[in-house]
Structure 1
Amino acid sequence: MTGTETENDNDEMARRKAVQNEYLNSQLAAAAYKKSSIILPDNPVIL
């Protein structure tokens, strides 16, 4: 295996990790929004 192949593998892993993190973040954001919308009215007023 050459150094370039190793770099490509690392790039691929980093890309997959980034996509996975993005997906998890969107799931978390959706869950947090769902949870907060139960407590807050449609137009919350921040005092």
Structure 2
Amino acid sequence: MLCDRCGSHAYVHVVLDTGGMLSWCAHHYREHEQALFAYAISIQDERHLLDA
């Protein structure tokens, strides 16, 4: 999957309380992480794959 903001590889996938889903690269997730906590039902964080 690709980042919804910039088209880079998405490492974080967020399911929102509205039923939508967002996919983010590591950079954009860090930028919006705190705001997403208010709306997220689940967060699948695969940023550990960046070090693999």
TM-score range, shorter chain: under 0.3
Q: TM-score, normalised by structure 1?
A: 0.22
Higher relative contact order (CA 8 A, sep 6+): 2
**Larger Cα Rg: Structure 1 or Structure 2?**
1
